[in-house]
Amino acid sequence: MADIVRDEGGAEGGCLCGAIRYRAKGAPEGAGYCHCRSCRRHSGAPLTAFVVFAAEQVEWVSGDRARYESSPGVYRTFCQDCGSTLTYEARYQNKDIVEFHISSLDDPEAFPPNEHTHYRERISWLHVADELPKFPGSMV
Q: Is 86 in the site for Zn ion (CB under 5 A)?
A: no
Beta-bridged to residue 77, according to DSSP, are 67, 87
Q: Is 139 in the site for Zn ion (CB under 5 A)?
A: no
Beta-bridged to residue 18, according to DSSP, are none
Q: Identify the residue among 7, 10, 12, 19 touching Zn ion (CB under 5 A).
A: 19
Q: Which 36-75 residues touch Zn ion, going by CB under 5 A? A: 36, 39
Tell me the backbone φ, ψ of residue 65, rounded to 5 degrees: -85, 145
Q: Is 15 in the site for Zn ion (CB under 5 A)?
A: yes
Q: Identify the residue among 81, 92, 112, 132 touching Zn ion (CB under 5 A).
A: 81
3-state secondary structure 14-57: ECCCCCCEEEECCCCCEEEEECCHHHHHHHCCCCEEEEEEEHHH
CB of 8 to Zn ion, least distance (A): 27
Q: In a 3-state reduction of DSSP, which class is residue 9?
A: coil
Q: Identify the residue among 4, 11, 31, 34 touching Zn ion (CB under 5 A).
A: 34
Using CB under 5 A, which of the segments 16-24, 50-58, 91-99, 126-134 binds Zn ion?
A: 16-24
User: Which residues bind to Zn ion, rule: CB under 5 A?
Assistant: 15, 17, 19, 34, 36, 39, 79, 81-82
